[in-house]
Amino acid sequence: MRALEDDLFPSTPGKVKIERAGGAMNRQLHRCFASTSTMFLWALFLVAMTASYLSFQSFVDTSSKYFAASWGGLHWERQIRASAAPRRPPGSAAGAGMSVLVTGASGFVGAHCSLALRKRGDGVVGIDNFNAYYDPSLKKARKALLASHGVYVVEGDINDGRLLAKLFDVVPFTHVLHLAAQAGVRYAMENPASYVHSNVAGLVTLLEACKNADPQPAVVWASSSSVYGLNDKVPFSESHRTDQPASLYAATKKAGEEITHSYNHIYGLSVTGLRFFTVYGPWGRPDMAYFSFTRNILQGKPITVYRGKNHVDLARDFTYIDDIVKGCLGSLDTAGRSTGTGGKKRGPAPYRIFNLGNTSPVTVPTLVSILEKHLRVKAKKHVVEMPGNGDVPFTHANISLARQQLGYKPTTNLDAGLKKFVKWYLSYYGYSRGAKNL
Ligand SMILES: O=C(O)[C@H]1O[C@H](OP(=O)(O)OP(=O)(O)OC[C@H]2O[C@@H](n3ccc(=O)[nH]c3=O)[C@H](O)[C@@H]2O)[C@H](O)[C@@H](O)[C@@H]1O
């Protein structure tokens, strides 16, 4: 059965039939149909134009909303300049002070370093994308803490080259402390693309901005102990093999070391890569074992403890956050200048790599018993063989190079560090007030 619309808007065969029939009546009809189809085409054209206009408008709205809300404008620039201004007393022995762009400033290490820099009088501007890899409310709380000390954190991604260029336009940063990354060894099997996005593409976007900046900043950035991968010579020294990564995470960090080397070589960027060894402490990362174990133990939930082959316990060179902060600030203080300008280097610039570890590995079961002691709760342990998910059986740092060149000297052992972590945890999550709001 033909529908009403079929009669009003005949198909092409119908139109042919009318032409064949001839006659005034048919010509009339033809004109009528011709004008109807022209109207139809015009209507279609108008609908298409309106649709594309509307979608363009919504694109413009969304992006301008994003940019207007996140960055740009005179007020924003004033905030950036104020945050970036060093506040060391004139004539201070430590010099005039640095202006540091800290990426991942609302992350664990980023927040601690930003605060330490600010406290000693350096200028700091943060950038963080507040992604949901772990509870963003913890990142917002760190941001609020930084704001209360006069450190402004821009909400944005290191893949946003326009934003980075704008930041360098507003402030001649002397240093970049690049800590933004997709962290976590095992999560790389779930979301490999996020590692490439942040640790490779994001890194290159950032280095491009640094290379284009005038003056070029010195770059200090977070590599990882995981680059040692299957290396079994202990303790791990910077000269050991790092070409056998055990996870995609490790591979992207190793790629970062090679990528930064090329920017150092071609453009004269001063680069210092820091291989962090399992950093822990207050305001830490909820995805890490010491943190999630604490949460589960307090909630009476079981914890999974991985064990290596032949029932050998896994071990880590757990490093306390305050020691890592000292290593980062020592690296910034000793970083030589970048030598490039206008995309060309004028001479060689420093390229350095340091282990920042604790030099005393502790097994995972020992970590658990220290937590039990400080929490005064017994853990429900579920011991399983380490799955093939990128983990390495142990890490152990040789820190001679960092000691020699940065004056790096870790002073907090795991027991003392976890005591501080537990104190913070209980207070942050309201345990001391009996709220248990986890
Ligand atoms: O040193 C580093 O560079 C890396 O340190 C940590 O990686 P990882 O040492 O694996 O730290 P955790 O995830 O806290 O694991 C610590 C130990 O606990 C074990 N573990 C972890 C989780 C779990 O449920 N059970 C368990 O026994 C792991 O196998 C590992 O031996 C960080 O998560 C990485 O981002 C960082 O780059």
Task: Give the separation between CA 401 and CA 330, rounded to whole angstroms.
Answer: 13
β-sheet bridge partners, residue 155: 128
From the list 319, 321, 292, 323, the residue with the least C-alpha distance to 414 is 319
pLDDT band at 46 (very low <50, low <70, confident <90, very high): low
From the list 199, 210, 171, 189, the residue with the least C-alpha distance to 78 is 171
* Residue bearing tokens 């940063």: 173
pLDDT of residue 18: 31
From the list 85, 198, 219, the residue with the least C-alpha distance to 152 is 85
**Does the CB atom of residue 283 touch ligand 1 within 6 A?**
no
The helix/strand/coil state of 241 is coil
User: What DSSP string describes 391-414?
Assistant: --SB--B--HHHHHHH-------H
Q: What is the mean pLDDT of the chain?
A: 88
- Say if residues 217 and 174 touch (Cβ distance below 8 Å): yes
From the list 117, 163, 173, 113, the residue with the least C-alpha distance to 323 is 113
pLDDT of residue 16: 31
From the list 115, 110, 117, the residue with the least C-alpha distance to 94 is 117
Pairing of strands 218-224, 315-316: unpaired
Q: Tell me the pTM.
A: 0.85
Task: Give the separation between CA 385 and CA 222, rounded to whole angstroms.
Answer: 30
pLDDT tens-digit series, residues 399-409: 999 999 999 99
- Say if residues 126 and 158 touch (Cβ distance below 8 Å): no
Task: Give the separation between CA 114 and CA 99, rounded to whole angstroms.
Answer: 11
**Does the CB atom of residue 305 touch ligand 1 within 6 A?**
yes
- Say if residues 220 and 179 touch (Cβ distance below 8 Å): no
Tokens of 160: 């946003």
pLDDT tens-digit series, residues 137-150: 999 999 999 999 99
Of 187, 195, 249, 280, the active-site residue reads 249
pLDDT of residue 47: 57
pLDDT at 269 over 60: yes
Give phi and psi for 380, each to the nearest 5. -95, 100
**Does the CB atom of residue 277 touch ligand 1 within 6 A?**
yes
The helix/strand/coil state of 125 is strand
* Catalytic status, residue 249: yes
pLDDT tens-digit series, residues 20-43: 333 333 444 344 445 555 665 666
Q: Which of 189, 225, 364 to mutate to test the pocket of ligand 1 (most atoms within 8 A of CB)?
A: 364
Q: Which of 182, 304, 369, 391 to mutate to test the pocket of ligand 1 (most atoms within 8 A of CB)?
A: 391
pLDDT tens-digit series, residues 332-382: 999 999 999 988 899 999 999 999 999 999 999 999 999 999 999 999 999
Ligand 1 centroid distance, CA of 405 (Å): 28
90 cis-preceded (ω within 30 degrees of 0): no
pLDDT tens-digit series, residues 184-221: 999 999 999 999 999 999 999 999 999 999 999 999 99
pLDDT of residue 96: 81
Q: How far is CA 142 from CA 67, 128, 155, 187, in A?
A: 23, 11, 13, 23
- Say if residues 118 and 158 touch (Cβ distance below 8 Å): no
- Say if residues 113 and 177 touch (Cβ distance below 8 Å): yes
| b/e code 334-346 from CB counts within 10 Å (16+ = b) | ebebbbbeeeebe
